[in-house]
């Protein structure tokens, strides 16, 4: 009854942790492709190839449903995977859906025409690959009108977090927020469009100011997954064991993951 969670590195642990708290009886198999991280500077074809390989590994581990807890993979690979790669008895879901549901206050299955929503000026902080894909803006446009989105590619933040250099990560966050404010001085809301970024939520909020509503993904994805499995219980796979897998060095990744979540995390080789 396992569910797979994939990320290019450690960022998806924020989603995995939230899902584990929301669905404590569901074994989770987490796979981080740390050997090839970060994805945010790779080409769409590279991202697709790496994501399908990792997803297949999770299918092999008994997961019929895999969450791409990676905005870059969700933006650059998910649609292509769903259109021509995912087997009929499997499902691969991304992390944009719950975020846009929350932002537009409408369910994903609501196919009514786009309408005005409360937020008008949205700051999107994401990796370069996610920003260049414009996937967030495309999905948002299907559901909302009159929303101005200003995207800021946050180069270096993921690397700093993966390296455990939070001082550098905080400095980079401030720099990227300052750059965005030069283009959009007063955003109503800000989207943390990378699953690494919740670890820097306080830094983003401080730099943006208290009046900007921050949308982060971990809890939103967990709640959306719980709802999905209520409607589609057959998508909980046959796997019985959870665990953490990495394409990188298990000892090194385990040490960083333990720092990440402030509890002992032990990774095995994927």
63 annotated active-site: no
Which one is catalytic: 194, 208, 257, 265? 194
154 annotated active-site: no
Distance CA 108, CA 98 (A): 8
C-alpha 184 chain-centroid distance: 24
Which one is catalytic: 5, 29, 61, 70? 70
Query: Any idea which residue has 């993904």 for tokens?
Result: 217
Distance CA 168, CA 214 (A): 21
Query: Any idea which residue has 């995207």 for tokens?
Result: 151
Q: Are 121 and 187 in contact (CB under 8 A)?
A: yes
Per DSSP, 262 falls in state T
For residue 187, which of 216, 157, 154, 209 has the smallest C-alpha distance? 209
CA angle 43, 178, 155 (to 5 degrees): 20
Name the region of 234 (left: φ>0; alpha: ψ -120 to 50; beta: rest): alpha
Distance CA 94, CA 114 (A): 21
Residues carrying an active site annotation: 70, 194
């Amino acid at each position: 009854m396992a569910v797979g969670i994939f990320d290019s590195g450690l960022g998806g642990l924020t989603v995995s942790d939230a899902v584990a708290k929301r669905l404590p009886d569901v074994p989770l198999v987490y796979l981080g492709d740390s050997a090839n991280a970060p994805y945010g500077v790779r080409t769409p074809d590279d991202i697709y190839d790496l994501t399908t390989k990792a997803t297949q590994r999770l299918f092999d581990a008994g997961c019929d449903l895999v969450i791409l807890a990676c905005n870059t993979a969700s933006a650059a690979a998910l649609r292509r995977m769903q259109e021509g790669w995912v087997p009929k008895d499997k499902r691969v879901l991304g992390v944009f859906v719950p975020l846009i549901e929350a932002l537009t206050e409408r369910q994903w299955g609501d196919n009514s025409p786009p309408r005005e929503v409360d937020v008008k000026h949205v700051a999107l902080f994401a990796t370069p690959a996610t920003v260049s894909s414009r996937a967030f803006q495309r999905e948002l446009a299907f559901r909302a009108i009159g929303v101005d989105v200003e995207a800021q590619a946050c180069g270096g933040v993921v690397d700093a977090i993966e390296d455990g250099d939070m001082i550098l990560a905080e400095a980079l966050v401030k720099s990227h927020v300052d750059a965005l404010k030069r283009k959009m001085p007063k955003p109503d809301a800000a989207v943390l469009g990378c699953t690494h970024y919740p670890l820097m939520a306080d830094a983003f909020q401080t730099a943006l100011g208290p009046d900007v509503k921050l949308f982060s993904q971990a809890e939103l994805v967990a709640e959306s997954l719980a709802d999905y499995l209520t409607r589609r219980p057959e998508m909980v796979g046959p796997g019985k064991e959870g665990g953490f897998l990495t394409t990188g060095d298990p000892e090194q990744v385990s040490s960083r993951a333990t720092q990440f979540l402030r509890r002992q995390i032990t990774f095995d080789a994927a």
